[in-house]
Structure 1
Amino acid sequence: MEKYCINSWTKIVEWFDSDIQLGISDKDCAAIRQKYGGNKMDLPSANKLYVHMFNALKQKVLMLQLIILIILLLLKYYLFSSVVGGFLILNLSIAILHTIKRNKEIVRLQKLASTEAIVIRDGIEKVIKSDELVVGDMVKFFTDSIIPADLRIINANDVKVDENFITGDEQHKKKNEQKIIGSIDSLKEMQNILFKGSKIECGNGLGIVIATGKSTQLGRILAMLIYSSSRKHNFAEMIFKKMEKDLLIYLLAIISLGSYFIYFGQDIQKKCVATALFALGCLPFGIIAFLSFKGVIKKFANENVDILNFSVFNLIKDVNILFLDKVGAISKKEMVVKKLFINDDLISTDDPYLKETTFDRIVEISLICNNASYDMGVKSEVGGLDEIAFLRYGTRKKFSKYRIDNAYSRIIEIPMDSDKRFLTIVTRLNNRYRANTRGNVDAVLEQCTYIMIEGVERELTEEYKTKIKTMDMNFSIEGLITQGFAYRNFTYEPSSDENIESNMVFVGIVGLENPLEDDLHISLNKIKDKGLVPIIFTEESKLSAITNAKKANLIKNSNQVVAGIELDSLNQQELKELLCRVRVFCRVTSEIKSKIISLFIKDGHQVVTTGELFGDLPALNLSNVGIAKGNVSPVVKKISDVYIKENYLDGFFKIRDFSRALNKNIDRTFSTFYIMILSELFILIGSIIIGQTEGLDFWNVLILNGILLVPLSLINILNEGRNISKNEIVIKSLILSIITMISIYKVNGKEATIIPLTIISIGMLILTLSNNNVSLRKFSNELKLAIISFILILISVGCIIIVNGIVLRDIIIIELIVSIIFLIIFEILSRKWKNSLMR
C-alpha cells in the first residue's frame, strides 16, 4: 500500500493501464478480475438464522435434549414434552443470540463492503454494484459516499472522511491527492488513500481502485475478525463436551431400564420412566450459562478488566509465553527529563533556571514539537510520554507551552516516519520563520551543518560530531532514552516542496528516563514462578534496552537483546534459532513482531500479546490471548480477548488465576447437577419397587431441575470451593434418595409430593453452602443466592400444599425436620472426614 502513497497518481494510473478520462474498458474487466481478484468478499453468512440454528444443534447436549423430547412425545406425555421443548428452545435461542452478538461486528463491516459505485468505463459514467469493481477503475465520490474499494486519490476537493473502523482514528481526516515524501509508518499517515468502507463526510473527487475484496484494509480486518471468532470462541464447546458424555450415559441407562419396565410393567412404571426422562431433559443450562457469564464479566469489570471473549478463561490457562510492551509492564507509564547535553557540556536538570540562549532554544523546540496538553479542570496531561515529560520540565523551568504556541504559529508540520525518525514543525514569529526539529539523535545530526554553542552558531566539525555521538551512547548505556534537537532559520516563508530539513543547527541532546516499576521484582518473580517466559518489546535503543533489561533482571547477557534492524536480513531458520535466546526486542516493525509471534505459535507455544495501536492488530489476532491496553480504537478491542486500560499485568494474573478456579467451579456445578439427577433416578426406581403411586412428580422435577438448579449453579460458579469426587456423587445421591424413600414410605395421597421436593432441595442447598464455604455471618453475593434459593423452596412447597389442599400431619412435619437435621449432621461429618484425609 505504501508504494501507492509515495508515487504520483499519474504513475499509478500508468501501472494499471487506465485513463482518467476514459477509465478502463468493460471488455477488459474479466481479465483484470482474474489477475487481481474481484471486489466481492465471500464471507460466512454471519446474519443467517438457519446457519446459527444448524451450528447450535451440532452440540450433542442439545441433540440429547431433542431426543428426550421425541421419546416423551412417543410416550404421549405431552405436558412433560412441552416443558422439555420449551427449555430446548430457550437453550437454543441463548446459543444463537450469543453467536449473533459475537458476530455483529462482522455483519456491520459486511454491510460497509456492499454498496454502489459511480465509475468511468469506456469514457462513460455509470453506476454499478461495488462487487463489480476491478483494479484500475476510475471511481467518483461525493459527500455521504461509502468508499467501495481502496482508492488512490486523483482529485480531491475539500475532502474529509470518517475512517474510524479502518484506521481507528476518531477524527475526520482531511485527504488530498499529493504524493507523500518519505516512508509511511501507519495507515493514518496515508492521506492520499481512501479505504473501502470509509465514509465521505464532505467534499468530492476522483480516485483509482488500487485494491479490491480481501486485499483491501477492510477485507483484512474482516478476515481477522472471522478468524478470531472461529478459532478463539471455544468456551461453550468445552462446557458441552464436559456434559455430553455423562448425560449420554444417563440417557442410555434410562432408555434401557425404561424399555424393560414399559414392556413388562404397568402405568406407574411408564410414568416413572417418563419422569426420569423429563428430569434429564429439564435442564436450563442456557440460563445458567448466561447469568454466569454476566456475573463473571461484572466481577472483572469492577476490577477495571473488560472480558471481551469469555473463552479467554479457557485459552489463558495453558499460556507459557508472555509478550509484553516495556511501558506498563516493567516500567512506569511516565518519562522524566534526567540529563541535557548542550553548549558542549553536560548539565543537571536540577540546576536553577538561568536565562541562556541555547538552553532556552532546546526547551522551546521541545514544547513546539509537542502535541501534549494539560487540562486545568481535571489536572491531567494528555499526550505521548516523552511529550508530557518535556511539558513538565518546561513548566519547572518557567516555560509556558500556551504562551509559546500563541507566539509561534505553526505553518508546516512534517511528521516523523520509520525512516527519518524525527519530526519538524515550521513556525512563524512576526516575519521570522524557523524549522524546529526533534527525534533520533543520529538522524537529526545527519541533517545538521552547524551547532549552537552558548547562543552562537558554529560549524559542526567532526570533533563535535564524535563528542555528540559519544554522549548519546553514554546516555543510552545509562538506560536513558535520547532525543536530539535542531533548528533552521529562514528569512522567507518556506514551502513544503523544498528541503526544509537540511543545513540545520544542532542544539543538544535530552536524556529521558522511563523509571522501572517499584515492585518489578515481585511481578517478575510471579511470572517466573508460574512457569511463564516474559519477552519484551521496546522502542528504546539497543544500548538503553540492554541496561534497563539488566536492571530489571530480565537478561544475563547482552546477546539476549536484539534490534529490529538485525532481524530484517535473517531467513526463517536463522530467525527461529535466534528466538531461542532473545528476551528483549527493540524497535521492531509490526510485521516483524507478527512474524516472531507466529514462529513461537508454530513451535507449539501458547502466547499472550499486548497491544494498543492499529499496527498491533495482526499480533493480537495471531496470539492465543490478545490483551488490548491503554486508549485503543473499537477495532483493536474487537480483535482482542481482553481490554485492560492500566496495570494489564495484574489484570492478566487475575484472569489466569480465576481461569483455574473457574474450571473447578464448573466441574463442581456439574457434580451438583449429577447428585440431583441421580437422587431423582434412585427415588423413581425405589417408587417402582415399593409401588408408590405418588412422590416425585412433574412439579417436583420442574422446581428442582428447572428453577432451583439456577441459583445453586451460580453459587458454585462464582465462588471457589471444594471438589466433589465421583464416589461422593454416588454416596450423597444414595443418602438423599434413601432418606426420601424412608420418609414417603407408607405415606398416601398428595402428602407424598412435598417430601421429595423438600428433602432434595434442602439437601442440595446444604451441600452447596458447605462445599463453597459460604459464611452465614457475612453478607455476600453467594449468601444472597442462597437466600433466594431458600425462598424459592418455601414458595414452591407452599404452592404445592395450597394447590393440592394438603393438610400436613404432625408425623410428616417431624419426618421432614429429622431428615433435614440428619442431612446437616451428615454433611458436617463428611466435611470433617474429608478434611482429615487431606491433612
Structure 2
Amino acid sequence: MTNPDSSRLWQCLPLPELQRQLDSCDEGLTTAEAGRRLTMYGSNALPQPRPPGFTRLFLRQFISPLIYVLLAAMLVSLIVGKLADATFIGLILLLNALIGGLQEYHAHRSALALRNLMVSRARVLRDGQIEEIPTSQLVPGDLVLLASGDRVPADLRLFDATGLEIDESVLTGESLPVRKDSGALCEADTPVAERLNQCFAGSLVAAGRASGLVIATGLHTEMGKLSLSLETAEEVKPPLFQRIERFSKKLTIGLLITVALLASLELARDTPPLVIFMTAVALAVSAIPEGLPMALTVVLSIGTRRMVKRHVIVRNLVAVESLGSCTVIGADKTGTLTQNQLTAREVATCDGDRFRIDGTSQPPAADPVTTSSEAVARIIRVAALCNEAELHTLENGDCHSSGDAVDQALLLMAYRSGQTRQQLLAVHPLLAQIHYEPVLGFAATLHADGERRLVCVKGALEKLLPMCARMATARGDTALDRERALATMHELAETGARVLAMAEGSWSDDQKFSAENFAAHLSDLCLLGLVAMVDPMRPEAAAAVRACRQAGIRVCMLTGDHPRTALSIARELGLTDGDEGAVTGGELAQAEKAGAEAVDALTAKTRVYARVSPEQKLTIVQSLQRQGQFVAVTGDGVNDAPALLSAHVGVAMGQRGTEVAKESADLLLTDDNFASVVSGVEEGRIAYQNIRKVIFFLISTGAAEVVLFVLSTALGLPLPLTPVQLLWLNLVTNSVQSIGLALEPGEGDEMQRPPRPPKESLFNPLMLRRVITSGLVMGVLGFTCFYVLLQQGLAVEAARNSLLLLMVLFENVQVFNSRSETHSIFQQLFFSNPILLLGTLAAQGIHILAMYSPLMQEVLGVTPVSAAHWSTLLGVALLQLLAMEVLLRVSQRYTAPA
C-alpha cells in the first residue's frame, strides 16, 4: 500500500482508484491489517501538552508578592546578622513551595487521568461488521460511518453521503454548514474549505449520514497541521476563583493599611525599625490567607475525585460546586431515568387486535415466536426493513445488537418471529432511505418488490397519519379510521409504553424513481398498526427523584414521548401526582409566539414536558433562568448543545452522548444515570460546605492575630509575638488543618437542605457573624492572657511563650469549630475525618517538640511549661469552643421559624 500522505490529492481521485491506493474495500479493513497499520502510522491523536514538571511548579510557588516580602525579610535578617531568623524564614519558604508544588503536580496528574477517561469513539467497518472503537485506533484505509451529531474523527474522503452537512467552523471559520457530495471530484488546487468530497477531523456532522475512507490521522490531518502552529491558550479562571481572588485582594489592602498604621505607632514609640519591619511582614503574611487559592483547588479536586467514583466526570473544575447550587434539573427520560433498553412488548392493529410479545434484550436463538396474524407479519416486516441497527447471533446462541435503541428492539422482535433483516433484504433489496431525524419524526425505506417497489415507514402516529389512506385489519385493508387509530395509541400509551406506528405502501414502475424524490411520494400508505415498547425504569430513579424533592430541587422530565406515556412514567417516578398534566412541544411553541411571559407562565410549575424537540430545551432553560432558577440540564444530542451551554450546569451522557454534547457540557455521566446526577448534587453541596469551612478557618484565625496586635499596640504593650513566632504559628495551624477540612465528609443532611440562593456571597451574614465572633474571642482572650502575665511580673519572653502556646491551642480548637456551621461540635462524629484529627494532633505535637528542642528553643524563644500552666491555657482555649456553641444556639433560635 502506498504510504498515505495528507498532502496527496485525494480529492481528485475516483473512488475505485482511492480504494486501490488505500488498499481498502467495501468490507473495510481486517482487524489484523488495522493493527499492522496502527503500528506503522501511530495513534490517531494530537500530542497532548505535557504537564509541567515538578521543578517548574516548585519554582512557580515563589512568584507571589507575599513571597517577595518574605524574601526581603530573609535578606534583611542575613544582612543584620540574624542567621537563625533568616534560616527559619528560608525553611518556611521552601516548605511552602514544596507543599504548593506537590499539590499542583498532583492536580495536573489528576486532570490528565480525567482526560484519559473521556475517550471519543467512532463507528467503523472492520471484517465486514460495524464496530465502535476509540478514535485513537483509526488508521488510513478505515471505512468510518458518520451520523448527525458526530465529531469527524479523522480526515475522510467521502464514500457515500445522504443529506450530509458539515460544520467546519472549527477549521475554516465559516459559520454555515457545508453541503457535502461524495460523488464530486475536485481540482488539485481546491482549497480545504471547498473540497466537497472530504470531511476533516474536528468538524461536526450537522445533518445527514455518510461513510468515508480515512486518508489522514493524527498530525497528518488538517487539524493536526493547524495545531502545530498554535500556542496553547491559557486557561480562564472559573468565576468562583475570581470571586475569591477579588476578596483576597480587598482583604490584603485592608490588612496592609492596618499593618502600616501599627508600624507607624511602633515607630513613634521608638521601636527598632528592624523589629517593626519583621513584625509587619510576619503579621501581614500570617493574617492574609495566601493559601486560600490552593485550599480551594484541593477542595474542588477532592470533589472531582469523589464524583468520578460516583460516575460523574468533571470537565470544568468549578462545576463541582455549581452543581450543588442547582434549583431545577431538566432530565432526559430515555437512558437517564430509564435503562435505555427498549423492548417491544405488544403489537396492536388499528381495529383492536393485540398480540403480546415475549421481548427480551437477549432472546434465545431457538423457539422463535410464530405470527398468526397477517397484519402482524406485515408490521414485523416493516420494523425489520425500515431499520438501521445491527443484530448478530453469537456462538453461544445469544444476540449482540448495536445502533439506535428503538431499532434494536424492533430487530429483536422480528428475530423472535423468525425473521431477520438480512433475510428480508435478500428478498427486498434497499433502494433508498430517509434516515430518522428528530425534526422529521419518522424514517422511511424503499425496497425492490418484484415489479413494484415497497415503501416502509415507521414513526410517531401523528406524523404517519397524513401519509396514510388505509389501515390494516383482520378483514383486510380498509379505509383509515383516524379516531380508532388514535384511540388504540392512547390505550397503549396509558400503560407507559412508547408507541411507534408502522405503515407500508407501494410505488409502481411507471412513477419516475430517484432517491431525491422519494420523500415526496410518501402518501396513500396503509397504516399497519402500532408497536408498544417499554424502557424499564432504573431501579434507583424513583429514590433519586425523592432525594431531589427533599433537597428542594424541582426535577423536570423532558421527553419526545406521547404525553400519556410521559405522565404514566412521571407518576411511577413520583415526579407528579394524578392532577398535574404535561406541557407538550406544541403548547410550548404556541407560548413562544405569544412572548416570554407566556412561556414563563407555562414553565413556572411544570414538571413533565412531552413531545418536545431538543431545540425546545433551550427555550425551557432560558425561561427557568428568567425566573431566577439555577438550572442543570442533561442532554446527549447535537441539538442539545445550546441548552447545555446556556444552562448553569450542563450534564452530558458519557455513553450515548454525541461528541458535541460532551464538549458543550461541564459534567459527563459515565453511566447515563439520573441517580448519578443526584450524587453529583450531593458532592457539590459537600464541596461548597468544605470551601466555606476552609475560608472560615483561615480568615478567623488571621482575624484573631490582627485583633491581638491591634489591642497590644493601642495599649502600648510590647509586641505580643515575634516575627518568627508568627510565621511558626502560621505554618503549624494553617497547613495540615486546611487540607483536613478539605477532606471533610458530608454532614449527612446535605440533601435535606434547600439550595443556596444562586447570588448568595460566600461571606453571607452567618459567615460574618462567625468570623467576627471567633476573631474577637480569640484575639481578646489572647491579649488578656498576655496582659495578665505581664502584670504578674513575667518577662516578655515568658509571656510570649505562653501566648504562642495558647494561640496554637486556640487554632487547634478552632479547626473543630470549623467542621460545621449548623451542627454542634458535640453532634459530630469525632473520628469521621481521621486526616483532620491526625493533622491537628501532629500540629500540636510539633509545637511540643519545639518547646523541648534546644535549636527551636533558641529560634522561637520557647520553653516547656508546667502541667498546671498547660491546663490553664487549655481551659482558656476551650472558651472559644463555648463562645461558638453559644453563637450557634443564638443563631438557631434567631432563624427558627415562628
Question: Do they fold alike, i.e. is TM over 0.5?
Answer: yes
Q: What is the match of residue 410 of structure 2?
A: 390
Q: What is the match of residue 837 of structure 2?
A: 786
Q: What is the match of residue 389 of structure 2?
A: 371
8 Å contact from structure 2 (residues 636, 661) kept in 1:
yes
Question: What TM-score comes out, normalization by structure 1 length?
Answer: 0.66
Alignment partners' CA distance in 2, 1:410 and 1:757: 86
Report the Cα offset of residue 526 of structure 1.
5.2
Question: What TM-score comes out, normalization by structure 2 length?
Answer: 0.62
Call closer, same or farther: CA 1:795–1:386 in 2, change over 3 Å: same
DSSP-derived class of the 1:482 partner: strand
Call closer, same or farther: CA 1:84–1:247 in 2, change over 3 Å: farther
8 Å contact from structure 1 (residues 372, 384) kept in 2:
no
Q: What is the match of residue 498 of structure 2?
A: 481
Paired letter, 1:561? V
Paired letter, 1:483? L
Please give the per-residue CA displacement for 1:747-781, whole angstroms capped at 9, x wherever unaligned: 7799888765554334422332355359999765x
Q: What is the match of residue 816 of structure 2?
A: 769
Report the Cα offset of residue 398 of structure 1.
6.2
Matches within 5 A, 1:198-213: 205=186
Are 2:773 and 1:727 aligned? yes
Report the Cα offset of residue 701 of structure 1.
3.3
Call closer, same or farther: CA 1:301–1:198 in 2, change over 3 Å: farther
8 Å contact from structure 2 (residues 298, 739) kept in 1:
yes
Q: Determine which of 622, 630, 637 is the counterpart of 2:646.
A: 622
DSSP-derived class of the 1:197 partner: helix
Q: What is the match of residue 804 of structure 1?
A: 855
Alignment partners' CA distance in 2, 1:799 and 1:164: 68
Q: Which moved more, 1:585-594 or 1:283-292?
A: 585-594
RMSD: 5.8
8 Å contact from structure 2 (residues 632, 647) kept in 1:
yes
Call closer, same or farther: CA 1:776–1:158 in 2, change over 3 Å: closer
Are 2:176 and 1:197 aligned? no
8 Å contact from structure 1 (residues 339, 346) kept in 2:
no
Q: What is the match of residue 233 of structure 1?
A: 238
Q: What is the match of residue 416 of structure 1?
A: 436
Report the Cα offset of residue 635 of structure 1.
4.1
Q: What is the match of residue 518 of structure 2?
A: 499
Report the Cα offset of residue 339 of structure 1.
2.6
DSSP-derived class of the 1:715 partner: helix
Paired letter, 1:295? I
Q: What is the match of residue 259 of structure 2?
A: 254
Call closer, same or farther: CA 1:803–1:405 in 2, change over 3 Å: farther
Paired letter, 1:726? I
8 Å contact from structure 2 (residues 301, 317) kept in 1:
no
DSSP-derived class of the 2:501 partner: strand
Q: What is the match of residue 696 of structure 2?
A: 671
Please give the per-residue CA displacement for 1:125-177, whole angstroms capped at 9, x wherever unaligned: xxxxxxxxxxxxxxxxxxxxxxxxxxxxxxxx999889999843558766369
Paired letter, 2:865? I
Alignment partners' CA distance in 2, 1:558 and 1:833: 46
Q: What is the match of residue 362 of structure 1?
A: 379
Alignment partners' CA distance in 2, 1:420 and 1:671: 55
Call closer, same or farther: CA 1:68–1:742 in 2, change over 3 Å: farther
Are 2:279 and 1:272 aligned? yes
Please give the per-residue CA displacement for 1:644-693, whole angstroms capped at 9, x wherever unaligned: 34475444444445555555543443332244334544665788789879
Report the Cα offset of residue 335 of structure 1.
3.3
Call closer, same or farther: CA 1:91–1:792 in 2, change over 3 Å: closer
Call closer, same or farther: CA 1:737–1:438 in 2, change over 3 Å: same
Please give the per-residue CA displacement for 1:578-637, whole angstroms capped at 9, x wherever unaligned: 441353443344444323433443454433222111211111111222222342345433
DSSP-derived class of the 2:865 partner: helix
Give the % identical residues.
12
Paired letter, 1:417? E
Please give the per-residue CA displacement for 1:24-81, whole angstroms capped at 9, x wherever unaligned: xxxxxxxxxxxxxxxxxxxxxxx9xxxxxxxxxxxxxx99848967996998899599
Call closer, same or farther: CA 1:791–1:743 in 2, change over 3 Å: farther
8 Å contact from structure 1 (residues 758, 816) kept in 2:
no
Alignment partners' CA distance in 1, 2:162 and 2:205: 24
Paired letter, 1:812? V
Alignment partners' CA distance in 2, 1:163 and 1:332: 25
Q: What is the match of residue 577 of structure 1?
A: 598
Call closer, same or farther: CA 1:355–1:326 in 2, change over 3 Å: closer
Q: What is the match of residue 818 of structure 1?
A: 871
Q: Determine which of 314, 320, 324 is the counterpart of 2:331.
A: 324
Call closer, same or farther: CA 1:822–1:348 in 2, change over 3 Å: same
Q: What is the match of residue 168 of structure 1?
A: 151
Paired letter, 2:264? S
Q: What is the match of residue 609 of structure 1?
A: 633
8 Å contact from structure 1 (residues 94, 286) kept in 2:
no
Are 2:422 and 1:439 aligned? no
Paired letter, 1:416? Y
Are 2:313 and 1:295 aligned? no
8 Å contact from structure 1 (residues 197, 218) kept in 2:
no
8 Å contact from structure 1 (residues 162, 198) kept in 2:
no
Matches within 5 A, 1:581-730: 581-582=602-603, 583=606, 584-602=608-626, 604-631=628-655, 632-646=657-671, 649-657=674-682, 659=684, 662-681=687-706, 696-698=722-724, 700-706=725-731, 708-719=733-744, 724=770, 726-730=772-776
Q: Which moved more, 1:589-598 or 1:608-617?
A: 589-598
Q: Which runs of 5+ in 1 are unaligned?
A: 1-46, 48-61, 105-156, 181-188, 223-228
Paired letter, 2:389? N
Q: What is the match of residue 532 of structure 2?
A: 511
Aligned pair count reads 700
Please give the per-residue CA displacement for 1:324-370, whole angstroms capped at 9, x wherever unaligned: 32335665544343331248442231589434354344334434414
Please give the per-residue CA displacement for 1:259-284, whole angstroms capped at 9, x wherever unaligned: 11123322245543343234235732
Call closer, same or farther: CA 1:691–1:523 in 2, change over 3 Å: closer
Paired letter, 1:484? A
Call closer, same or farther: CA 1:402–1:312 in 2, change over 3 Å: same
Paired letter, 1:384? D
Alignment partners' CA distance in 2, 1:380 and 1:751: 80
Alignment partners' CA distance in 2, 1:577 and 1:610: 24
DSSP-derived class of the 1:266 partner: coil
8 Å contact from structure 2 (residues 382, 456) kept in 1:
yes
Q: Which runs of 5+ in 2 are unaligned?
A: 1-48, 50-62, 80-85, 113-139, 174-179, 196-201, 207-222, 224-233, 359-367, 748-765, 820-824, 894-898
Call closer, same or farther: CA 1:555–1:793 in 2, change over 3 Å: closer
Alignment partners' CA distance in 1, 2:663 and 2:582: 33
8 Å contact from structure 2 (residues 381, 424) kept in 1:
yes
Paired letter, 1:728? S
Alignment partners' CA distance in 2, 1:776 and 1:440: 56
Are 2:765 and 1:760 aligned? no
8 Å contact from structure 1 (residues 449, 504) kept in 2:
yes
